[in-house]
Every structure is written in C-alpha cells, then in structure tokens.
C-alpha cells in the first residue's frame, strides 16, 4: 500500500520546551488515522507541520508524496484543513461563505452554487443558509467551518478536533461523512479528545505522549494490550466487589459466574456485568506508564 503521510525523525521545540521529539509516523492512503494525546502533547503542532503552517526543527515529512518543507505549494493543493477555531467570514451568509470558497477552489459560478446547496443541506444549515454568520451559535459556526473543508475533495483531509462544540446528532452526521470520504479514497488524519470518536472512525490510532508515539495500532489491538474481557460483580451501591477474567466463550462466562457466585453466597449481593477494555483504559495505561518511566 502507498503512503499518504510519511514522517521520520520529526522534532519541534518552542524555546526550551520540546513539543515533538524524534517522531516517526506513517499513514496509508485511504486510511482514517486518529491521533490521541493529552492537552499539550503536540497534536496540533504535528498537524501544523504536516499542513505546512509550521516548519520542523529536524526530520522530514511528506504528504501526498510531497515534502512539507520544500514543496509546500504542492502539498497545499492536495490537502484540506479544519482547525480548532472556525475560520468563516462573519459578514457573509452561510451560502455566501461556501460559494466563496468554491470559487477560490476553481469551481464555476454554477458549480459553486450547486456545491453550496449540497453542503448547506448536508451539514443541516438549510434554515440558516441566508443568515449572516455573526448571528450563528458556536455549533452552527463549527458545522459551517467543516462544510468548507469538503468543498473540493482533497487527497488528504486534516481535522483538528473536528467535533468540538457539536451536539451528538451533528457529531454522528460528521462521522458518516468522514466514512464516506474514506471509502472514496480520501485519507483522513484527525485529532480528537473524544475516545469514542476514535474508536468508531479510525482504522488505526496513535497515542501521543511527551511528543512521541507511545502506542500505535487498530482500536482492537490497542484495547487487547490492556487486558481482555472480565465479568464483574458490583454491590447495590455500584462498588466493585470482584472481577474475573473471561475469554468470552459460554464456558468461560460460566466459570467466571461460578467464581463470583461464591462471593455472592458470602453475602456480597449485587449485580453482574461483562466489561470489555476501552480506549479510555488504553489512554490511561499508556500515559500513566510513560509518566512513570520518564
């Protein structure tokens, strides 16, 4: 498989603070790749370097086959970026914003109008299409900002915490759009603080900590690293009484229940549930381990 993004030995400092430290990363074309990490871990800095907004102090990065340092114009023609802050014109209406971006992207007047109508509908802004953006709520502005990223289908789409400020319905609508884009061949590189979002969307996930990739793999692979399924017994207050590992088979569940039944018979009456590892477990395990090893 060909790569859409290739990073080798990337390093970036601000003053005495090392933000990215000897980072290696590879993203396959058509992949949805999620970058997770605590605040200040360097996620936005990495996106800024990959989209040519910043230069690295050392190392190399290519996007769509072009060097982000020496071939910036070629990279910029092949990518789209939605940052954490909405980059829309408050004085224009929603439709005018989209038409303007479409015209700047080279679409004809008629094609720009058609694309604007499609995106306004897709991002649930039809009722507000003619309103000035200055009257929009934060969530509406965010949806419009995202719509602008889809005016022309890029080879690589960068989304920096794209669903921040969106309600649950809008967030899931955007997930569907991202899945459609990836299915059509667009590479999606996103950062997010919503671990469920990464779990739902990403083909692979990198967990960033102290400027380095501390864990990398599919969501299933990462969750498997922190343990398997367990059957848990909680008391009436919801506090954990006992936990027994299980392989998920009927026989394994039966053995686990038999072990927990001994606790229940001892007077620890409660409820039983099956628990599977989550990305929250991965995130906490990785960042805690890295902190202790530092």
In DSSP notation, 197-223 reads HHHHH-SEEEEEETTEEEEEE-HHHHH
* pLDDT single digits (tens) 69-91: 999 999 998 998 887 666 788 89
Residue 292: per-residue pLDDT: 45
123 and 194 inside one domain: no
* pLDDT single digits (tens) 210-265: 888 989 999 988 888 776 777 777 766 777 777 676 766 777 777 777 776 766 56
Residue with tokens 């299933």: 220
180 and 253 inside one domain: no
> What share of the chain has pLDDT > 90, as a percent?
42
96 and 176 inside one domain: no
Give start and end residues of each alpha helix (H) in 11-65: 43-50
Residue 240 burial (C-beta neighbours within 10 Å; 0-12, 13-18, 19+): exposed
Q: Pick the residue with more confidence: 68 or 161?
A: 68
Question: For 133-150, what is the mean pLDDT?
Answer: 86
Q: Domain tally for the chain?
A: 3
55 and 168 inside one domain: yes
162 and 92 inside one domain: no
| φ, ψ dihedrals at 11, nearest 5° | -140, 140
71 and 125 inside one domain: no
With a CB cutoff of 8 Å and minimum separation 6, the contacts of 63 are 4, 5, 50, 51, 75, 78, 79, 156
Residue 181: per-residue pLDDT: 83
Half-sphere exposure of 104 (CA within 13 A, CB side): 10
Kindly tell me if the per-residue pLDDT of 266 is higher than 60.
no
| Rg of the chain on CA atoms, in Å | 23
| CATH, residue 209 | 3.40.50.300
146 and 191 inside one domain: no
Q: How far apart are CA 48 and CA 172, in angstroms?
A: 26
Question: For 177-188, what is the mean pLDDT?
Answer: 87
- Give the domain extent around 105: 86-152
Question: For 254-280, what is the mean pLDDT?
Answer: 69
Strand-pairing partners, residue 245, are 230
Residue 294: per-residue pLDDT: 47
217 and 234 inside one domain: no
133 and 72 inside one domain: no
91 and 3 inside one domain: no
* pLDDT single digits (tens) 25-73: 999 999 999 999 888 888 999 999 999 999 999 999 999 999 999 999 9
Q: What is the three-class DSSP state of 3?
A: strand
Judge whether 139 and 171 are in contact, CB under 8 Å: no
Q: How far apart are CA 273 and CA 229, in angstroms?
A: 11
202 and 284 inside one domain: yes
Residue with tokens 């590879």: 26
Q: How far apart are CA 88 and CA 82, in angstroms?
A: 11
Q: At what angle do helices 138-149 and 94-104 cross, to 10 degrees?
A: 20
Judge whether 231 and 246 are in contact, CB under 8 Å: yes
Q: Is the pTM of this model over 0.85?
A: no
26 and 165 inside one domain: yes
Where residue 127 falls (left for φ over 0; alpha for ψ -120 to 50; beta otherwise) is alpha
Give start and end residues of each alpha helix (H) in 4-70: 43-50
Residue 247: per-residue pLDDT: 61
Choose the final residue of a domain: 100, 117, 152.
152
Q: Pick the residue with more confidence: 105 or 46?
A: 46
Which one of 4-8, 122-126, 154-158, 184-188 scores highest in mean pLDDT? 4-8
């Amino acid at each position: 498989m060909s790569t859409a993004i290739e990073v080798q030995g990337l390093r970036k400092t601000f003053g005495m603070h090392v933000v990215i430290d000897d980072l290696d990363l590879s993203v396959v074309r058509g992949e949805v790749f999620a970058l997770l990490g605590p605040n200040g871990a360097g996620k936005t800095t990495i996106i800024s370097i990959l989209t040519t907004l910043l230069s690295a102090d050392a190392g190399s990065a290519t996007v769509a086959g072009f060097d982000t340092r020496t071939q910036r114009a070629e990279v910029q023609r092949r990518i789209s970026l939605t940052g954490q802050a909405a980059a829309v014109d408050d004085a224009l209406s929603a439709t005018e914003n989209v038409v303007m971006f479409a015209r700047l992207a080279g679409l004809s007047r008629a094609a720009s109008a058609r694309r604007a109508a499609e995106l306004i509908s897709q991002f649930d802004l039809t009722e507000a299409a003619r309103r000035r953006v200055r009257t929009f709520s934060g969530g509406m502005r965010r949806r419009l900002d995202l719509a602008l990223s889809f005016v022309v289908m890029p080879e690589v789409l960068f989304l920096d915490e794209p669903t921040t400020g969106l309600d649950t319905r809008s967030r899931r609508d955007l997930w569907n759009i991202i899945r459609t884009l990836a299915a059509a061949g667009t590479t999606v590189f996103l950062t997010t603080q919503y671990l469920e979002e990464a779990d739902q969307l990403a083909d692979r996930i990198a967990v960033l900590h102290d400027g380095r990739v501390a864990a990398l793999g599919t969501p299933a692979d990462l969750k498997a690293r922190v343990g398997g399924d367990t059957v848990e017994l909680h008391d009436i207050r919801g506090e954990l009484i006992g936990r027994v590992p299980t392989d998920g088979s009927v026989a394994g569940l039966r053995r686990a229940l038999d072990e927990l039944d001994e606790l229940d018979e001892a007077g620890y009456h409660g409820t039983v549930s099956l628990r599977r590892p989550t990305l929250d477990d991965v995130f906490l395990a990785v960042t805690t381990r890295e902190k202790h090893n530092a």
